[in-house]
Structure 1
């Protein structure tokens, strides 16, 4: 960014009259631009023919199904064209983030005029044919432009915007927040995000709160607040607030034209002021004279919901009403009076003055659009041109834990997987200082990731003392912020602008962002169907680094808290998505965890969930063995099986590190005490390989499934997650009755005795193995009753011990 302007005082006033006098011609052009984009937005909602209104409007010109939202479109159109002017005036790198949905017709209208849509869809030319394709295609079942595929969650556009500017010092992201979005908890948390942005090293977000009136029959809270209330609220957040609303009373019909002119000039001057304030703050920081607690600008734009539209239908007021939020006139196809109102509305824009004979917008309007890569719709961080670059990853063998023995019967042979992965991630950060960040809603130290604290510039929210080894909050690679929604939004913004990240969290806490994960998964799925994402249209292939979750504290051990952390249902939620989009990994030890993390950080266009434990655990595989095991996703552990797993009586399967410990302990005890019972031990680290058909993605076909689990022998599965997940994964496999499923039963257990209460302990597995092996192995059958009763006695003792001592005395070892 070039700082070619002088800083302005924070309290400088904007004279609408002076702005209008100095820039009248440009403001007149902006007004014509808005007339055109408002027409295009309305036409997209209503018309399927007669797009230039060369004939009287008829019923057959109206779409059969009316979808879309009109009310917010005029305000968005005004904001968009003023941002275009700001880009051209100051030659800046800027793009717009807005909540998908309500303003889609407006966004498409602007993208069409600046030719951004044409860059990706060549048929959207600036002529009558391209105009017809745009308008007819909106919300059409067979069209390529759909109204709204954002889905379940509102409110995190602001967090995404802040994620986009991190480590992008030359970038400004304008974020339009609607009054509906402002009422969400996700947005409420995100207002403080600027406090984590270092103006010396990152870009800036310009929040624009667009107050547009009622969206439902109840007034929107922020739109109903007075200017004083709004000033106090956002000044309290730490912003410099400017309210863009030249008419301090209500918009009324008699003064509507003057109000529009004043709003136009006010926004023109306010955006220029906001840009100068951003430059002033950044310039000071980059010259080593950083402002303490800088106050970034925030604009609040009030626009009437009925602006330029129909005022009344059938004696029901549309003006300043929720009725104008979506489709103002719903019966235009069958009601002649409403059809006439629609025609009068569309003709009020005088589009014959805005298009030439070929249906191309006039030059005066097109001149307001930036060219080439300055267009917001073709910005380098949106198109993906050359932005994504793979990480420079360290050699995983440098972090390998040597395996001295496969039994790990002693405490001194155990290691914390997260402690080791912390060392690996620390090196990833050091080798990628501008393109990798960690987003962490929970404490790093409680997850045994203290190695990450050795990285320079760990953030800390409080004041920094001179002797503090940690530096300030706003200079960091690791952002600890307790809001899951905000961390998710930051990470998505960071990834979508070409960088890489890792989301660290307690497993149970991830449930709060399920809908956000689902939205990102749908985005990835949809993006794979778009031709321009896989072929060259003047831009490089736009891959996005995968969204990686490392769920550290699990519900199987009371590592951090009690009731609130006992949930493994996040796995259930993400498995609703296709295997080509979402993968779930449960590495059994540290070397497998390092291998898995390295793999996930190298992938693109996926969501990867990795589950592990923070406590010291047995280690099973060398690094070379871990690579082979993780590559397969599931394999037989021959060294832990009877005769390397040949001709077993029963198959023991571990999925998850703690579940695997119990499986290994059961196999160890059976080998010592019932050597005649032949056991095969299988470990699964990539959960989705178990699916019968993962649509040509990595999975176990019938032959490989039977090679692993046999064709007809009993299979006992000890799983980290819920039984519902196992039932889903094994659905369609032949002979399902031979699978004995053990896992999270969904109970809340107030002790350390999760394995005992869930039926997943080593003794439960031993009892199941004896019972299932006895019908086919007479030697086992001869001792079955005595052994089963013995291990039931052991379980009873463990239950009593857990009640007396407050936990299960068994340690994560094989003894």
Structure 2
């Protein structure tokens, strides 16, 4: 048997295993005639894209063996789960990590039974699949993941099979531009294989229907050298693919050596549902949308359909592919690369195996000096930029900072003292901080930044994604998928922990006065809190030193999604570094210098989370101290939002006894919150005294206005907080009617000043704590 015959045998074996996963409950080797009881009661899965994926795996394995090439695959077509699982079982890695799914007839039976079966495995590429770093449950992100995996992996080739339905998505269309960010000297290579089988679930695909010359020009316009492999006859397409891959990998070498500037890519045209039933019930199936899911759907009650299923599966000639024990025959096994060169066993696809801790400077060295709390100001993210500058310098190959053209805007510009923005396209004399190999990744696509970072983290590196708070919503769905990946991976013993996905959200809702309503939305926090408590963390450091402590903690963490919300504008310095460390370790705590209840029960608790809500809470406490000196006020600041939940709901949750001691069970709590108020109610609804909790926060009131007017629009301002205290502390309403009216008048005076002068009152914008 020659090489192409062995490749064809591997392909047939993978196709047989894929169809078996969709259909068979028993009789895995068809050693007896197929009967209805051998077929699963519910037929779930997707056939249409699977043969093309199997075809790519079979041919890529030859390249790995012949070149001793380090390679991983990303299966972009979301419904290609049968192929990825079949591939890893044929390579033997599936049985390594799941010994009960052995490489024999008994293991094949278990392989088939578990697919899309209760208590089994999903129908798409998932964390459970060895060799995968790409969740196939959602389309559009495969190519971004592939490039993220290739950054700082100079010996790695990432083969990315892109479905033509997936290619219609916006994130995928943007991802073609990622080749402008690859440094051939220090990065690996991505080989995009655009798999055009012509159809989505029920419709033709755009790229499959445009003239081939136009498609080639499109890919050339993106900067690639496209190669077309097309056909229906397997023998012909095998020859074309083998020849094309030899050419493509020579061209990859040329780009890596500097003799060419254009990376190759492949356009693979094969029929949807290739090698499956040609027709069913007189209607065409192979090469049409009808092959997308289960081509033969009524095999239990239609004898002809059952017979057609048996003919289809026997067409792969399983007796030639598996021996009597169910083990793949030597000619099939001979196509599989050795050891860790198997794509399904690559350590790059289980990035925790390669992960090294970051070399982190001592964050305390960057501390803001605080002689007295709330009397001086610093810019938190600007100070953090100095820390990140040194993180980059100390970790030149394992850390990247990503953002959609907002690193400088979010005041992290100190990083450009040691690195540049990654850029491998044209540069002009007027450009600044652009260079191949830069550690800062900026492109005006949140999707691409997120995808790059996910690919980078899942292959064993570290990073930070900084974004304007309102526009991180663009990746809500991508965040959801990554959080689900982490949650699933934590339950899989052979998956090693990876570095956390860290978000820094700045230019936030309360200081977007120049951009206005479109830029004012703190709702990403609500999205994050929807995910499992084992995965998500939300931090709202109120000043510079708490931000430094929080950032250090997040950069050291594993297997989480950490969201840090911090302002870039000057904010009051509230704590020394020692105090900030203790406060962040607790996650929340009393600010004793702002409180007047020491040694007694408070009359009211002023709680706050977020830098601007904390500022307004402190200013309100100052007003209460001056106007109601006998009122006992406790000021509580929350950094770690998850501390508000009970321990039964989140690992960071506070025990009830500690929560009750801090917030009381019967006193009014006025909570000034960075985000939407109902999130706090959602986190605390089980707590004692919840009926006494009154939350102020963003209530979808915004415009282009001054910072304090923005606070007043949403009733988080100091004057309104004092009014809330008067309204909610028993006995104050009648006694403090004059003060309440004065606070309302102060609000009107402040608004009138903004309308006349275009800025806030100096006593508001320059307010500090008077000790």
Decide: shared fold, TM above 0.5.
yes
* Aligned match of 2:403: 440
TM-score scaled to structure 2, two decimals?
0.95
Mapped pair 1:763 → 2:719: yes
Separation (CA, whole Å) in 2 of partners of 1:173 and 1:602 = 27
* Aligned match of 2:52: 75
* Aligned match of 1:578: 532
* Aligned match of 1:418: 381
* Aligned match of 2:184: 199
8 Å contact kept, 2:406–2:468: no
Aligned-pair distance for 1:351?
1.1
Aligned-pair distance for 1:771?
2.7
Mapped pair 1:280 → 2:231: no
8 Å contact kept, 1:151–1:519: no
Separation (CA, whole Å) in 1 of partners of 2:514 and 2:99 = 55
Stretch moving more, 723-732 or 201-210: 723-732
Distance 1:153 1:108, change over 3 A: closer
1:314 to 281, 304, 326: 281
Aligned-pair distance for 1:605?
0.2
What SS does the aligned partner of 1:444 have?
A: coil
Separation (CA, whole Å) in 1 of partners of 2:710 and 2:9 = 68
* Aligned match of 2:499: 545
What SS does the aligned partner of 2:194 have?
A: strand
Aligned-pair distance for 1:214?
1.6
* Aligned match of 1:705: 659
Separation (CA, whole Å) in 1 of partners of 2:499 and 2:599 = 39
* Aligned match of 1:8: none
Separation (CA, whole Å) in 2 of partners of 1:445 and 1:470 = 11
Stretch moving more, 489-498 or 221-230: 221-230
What SS does the aligned partner of 1:216 have?
A: coil
* Aligned match of 2:443: 481
Aligned-pair distance for 1:91?
0.6
Aligned-pair distance for 1:361?
1.3
8 Å contact kept, 1:668–1:814: no
What RMSD in Å do the two structures reach over aligned CA positions? Answer: 1.8
Separation (CA, whole Å) in 1 of partners of 2:649 and 2:757 = 49
Distance 1:117 1:461, change over 3 A: closer
Mapped pair 1:271 → 2:245: yes
Separation (CA, whole Å) in 2 of partners of 1:176 and 1:757 = 50
Mapped pair 1:360 → 2:327: yes
Separation (CA, whole Å) in 1 of partners of 2:116 and 2:345 = 23
Aligned-pair distance for 1:673?
2.5
8 Å contact kept, 1:96–1:173: yes
Separation (CA, whole Å) in 2 of partners of 1:544 and 1:645 = 46
8 Å contact kept, 2:91–2:336: yes
Aligned-pair distance for 1:146?
4.7
Aligned-pair distance for 1:427?
0.8
Separation (CA, whole Å) in 2 of partners of 1:269 and 1:240 = 15
* Aligned match of 1:229: 214
What SS does the aligned partner of 2:262 have?
A: coil
* Aligned match of 2:639: 685
1:381-392 residue pairs with structure 2 within 5 A? 381-384=348-351, 386-392=353-359
Separation (CA, whole Å) in 2 of partners of 1:715 and 1:169 = 56
Deviation per residue, 1:121-153 (Å, 9 max, x gap): 112222111111111111110224554664763
Separation (CA, whole Å) in 2 of partners of 1:306 and 1:130 = 26
Mapped pair 1:337 → 2:304: yes
Mapped pair 1:797 → 2:749: yes
8 Å contact kept, 1:645–1:679: no
Stretch moving more, 185-194 or 211-220: 211-220
Distance 1:143 1:386, change over 3 A: closer
Separation (CA, whole Å) in 2 of partners of 1:420 and 1:613 = 11
Mapped pair 1:464 → 2:435: no
* Aligned match of 1:598: 552
8 Å contact kept, 1:618–1:813: no
Mapped pair 1:185 → 2:170: yes
What SS does the aligned partner of 1:446 have?
A: coil
2:203 to 197, 218, 235: 218
8 Å contact kept, 1:645–1:681: no
Aligned-pair distance for 1:278?
0.7
1:623-702 residue pairs with structure 2 within 5 A? 623-644=577-598, 646-695=600-649, 697-702=651-656
Aligned-pair distance for 1:385?
6.2
2:226 to 238, 241, 251: 241
Count residues in correspondence: 757
* Aligned match of 1:537: none
What SS does the aligned partner of 2:511 have?
A: coil
Separation (CA, whole Å) in 1 of partners of 2:160 and 2:374 = 56
Deviation per residue, 1:339-372 (Å, 9 max, x gap): 1111111111111121211111110010000111
* Aligned match of 1:304: 271
Aligned-pair distance for 1:469?
5.8
Deviation per residue, 1:182-204 (Å, 9 max, x gap): 00001000001011010011111
Separation (CA, whole Å) in 2 of partners of 1:167 and 1:563 = 39
* Aligned match of 1:130: 107
* Aligned match of 2:23: 46
Instruction: Provide structure 1 residue ranges, at least 5 long, that are not aligned to the other structure.
Output: 1-23, 252-258, 285-289, 534-541
Separation (CA, whole Å) in 1 of partners of 2:639 and 2:766 = 19
1:496 to 458, 461, 485: 458
What SS does the aligned partner of 2:119 have?
A: coil
Separation (CA, whole Å) in 1 of partners of 2:157 and 2:359 = 27
Separation (CA, whole Å) in 1 of partners of 2:284 and 2:215 = 28
8 Å contact kept, 1:417–1:617: yes
Aligned-pair distance for 1:103?
1.1
8 Å contact kept, 1:332–1:338: yes
* Aligned match of 2:369: 402
Aligned-pair distance for 1:466?
6.2
What SS does the aligned partner of 2:118 have?
A: coil
What SS does the aligned partner of 1:639 have?
A: helix
Separation (CA, whole Å) in 1 of partners of 2:532 and 2:767 = 36
8 Å contact kept, 2:664–2:689: no
Aligned-pair distance for 1:223?
1.4
What SS does the aligned partner of 2:494 have?
A: helix
* Aligned match of 1:21: none
1:241-260 residue pairs with structure 2 within 5 A? 241-245=226-230, 247=231, 251=232, 259-260=233-234
* Aligned match of 1:749: 703
8 Å contact kept, 1:157–1:177: yes
Aligned-pair distance for 1:319?
3.0
Mapped pair 1:517 → 2:494: no
Separation (CA, whole Å) in 2 of partners of 1:152 and 1:41 = 18
Aligned-pair distance for 1:464?
3.4
Distance 1:781 1:513, change over 3 A: closer
Aligned-pair distance for 1:310?
0.8
2:393 to 426, 430, 433: 430
Separation (CA, whole Å) in 1 of partners of 2:204 and 2:31 = 39
Mapped pair 1:85 → 2:59: no
Separation (CA, whole Å) in 2 of partners of 1:380 and 1:351 = 31
Separation (CA, whole Å) in 1 of partners of 2:137 and 2:338 = 35
Deviation per residue, 1:40-87 (Å, 9 max, x gap): 111110110111111111111110000111111111111101110000
Aligned-pair distance for 1:462?
6.7
Separation (CA, whole Å) in 2 of partners of 1:152 and 1:229 = 30
8 Å contact kept, 1:771–1:784: no
Aligned-pair distance for 1:397?
1.5
Mapped pair 1:589 → 2:575: no
Separation (CA, whole Å) in 2 of partners of 1:686 and 1:54 = 60
Separation (CA, whole Å) in 1 of partners of 2:737 and 2:702 = 32
Aligned-pair distance for 1:702?
0.7
Aligned-pair distance for 1:731?
1.3
Distance 1:322 1:645, change over 3 A: farther
Distance 1:364 1:589, change over 3 A: same
Instruction: Provide structure 2 residue ranges, at least 5 long, that are not aligned to the other structure.
Output: 127-134
Distance 1:347 1:469, change over 3 A: closer
